Amino acid sequence: MSQIDAKPRVALFVTCLVDLFRPSVGFAAIKLMEDAGCIVEVPEAQVCCGQPAYNSGDRKDTAAIAKQVIEAFEDYDYVVAPSGSCGGMIKDHYPALFAADPEWQRRAEDLSGRMHELTSFLVDVLKIQGVQTAPQDVKITYHDSCSGLRELGVKGQPRQLLDSIGGLEIVEMQTPETCCGFGGTFCVKYGEVSTDIVGRKTADITATGADLLLAGDMGCLLNMAGKLKREGSPVQVRHVAEVLAGMTDLPAIGESK
């Protein structure tokens, strides 16, 4: 369905970190999908995908939260999240959560089939070649967030979209696929280890000489931005959706006007 006749109805899964920390990513995602010909809605009943509970071993609460999410997104053609981590949670882990409950498992699988990460939705589902955004003269480097990369196969899609913007130069790090050490509650529970891991990452980022670091997940971005800023680095940090949508007038992550 490369030429979509009826406009698809897409629900945006905002993700809690975007909701709380970076609303502009939500608006950028809406703009990108509307530009690509979708009708985008944001169901109000959504809260969080349940990862904090899931990865803390609280399966019961996770299932309750997952049921809420499944219900909130039942009527849409597609559900899209500007995050590989929440996308992976819903797509990969929800069906497994309900192994003992066939009715909910069916509904979880149905949602799983309609769930996509933002850049992969634009490229793999909508088959858009690029974005219509004014040229931006900047040198960027891209961090492949673990869940997006390993659970959803997000790798080439953001780069292809970025390539379509004139003026951008992508310089790859030595270890774009290595974890930044965020890991949800890990970053606080094992703060010292997490800081060390992100320190190796920022060394690699700095070595590229890029002006701007991009990724597709707010968790990683907050972590890497926090470390870069502590180091006094001038590298700016943004969610890839902001750059793709040309919404770079707002201060970068961890910066003020």
Please select the residue that binds another protein; options are 134, 192, 234, 249, rule is CB under 8 A. Answer: 192
In this complex, which beta carbon is closest to another protein, that of residue 68 or of residue 160?
68
In this complex, which beta carbon is closest to another protein, that of residue 16 or of residue 138?
16
| Per CB under 8 A, 101 contacts another protein | no
Please select the residue that binds another protein; options are 115, 125, 198, 213, rule is CB under 8 A. Answer: 198
Cα–Cα distance between 238 and 22 in angstroms, integer?
Answer: 10
Please select the residue that binds another protein; options are 22, 107, 159, 238, rule is CB under 8 A. Answer: 22
128 within 8 A of 122, measured Cβ to Cβ:
yes
Shortest distance, position 201 Cβ to another protein, whole Å: 9
| Per CB under 8 A, 238 contacts another protein | no
Cα–Cα distance between 184 and 85 in angstroms, integer?
Answer: 10
| Per CB under 8 A, 200 contacts another protein | yes
Contacts of 32 (CB under 8 A, 6+ apart): 118, 122, 131, 241, 244, 245
| Phi, psi dihedral angles at 169 (to 5 degrees) | -120, 130
| Per CB under 8 A, 13 contacts another protein | no
| Residues 49-68 interacting with another protein (rule: CB under 8 A) | 50, 52-59, 61-62, 64-65, 68
Please select the residue that binds another protein; options are 31, 91, 227, 238, rule is CB under 8 A. Answer: 227
223 within 8 A of 180, measured Cβ to Cβ:
yes
| Per CB under 8 A, 240 contacts another protein | no
Please select the residue that binds another protein; options are 8, 158, 176, 183, rule is CB under 8 A. Answer: 183
| Per CB under 8 A, 230 contacts another protein | yes
Length of the chain: 257
| Residues 146-165 interacting with another protein (rule: CB under 8 A) | 146-147, 150-151
| Per CB under 8 A, 181 contacts another protein | yes
Beta bridge partners of 213: 141, 237
Shortest distance, position 10 Cβ to another protein, whole Å: 15
* Chain centroid to CA 253: 15
Buried b (16+ CB within 10 A) or exposed e, 219-248: bbbbbbbbbbbeeebebbbbbbbbbbbbbb
72 within 8 A of 56, measured Cβ to Cβ:
no
Q: Which stretch binds another protein (CB under 8 A): 102-110, 112-120, 185-193, 207-215?
A: 185-193
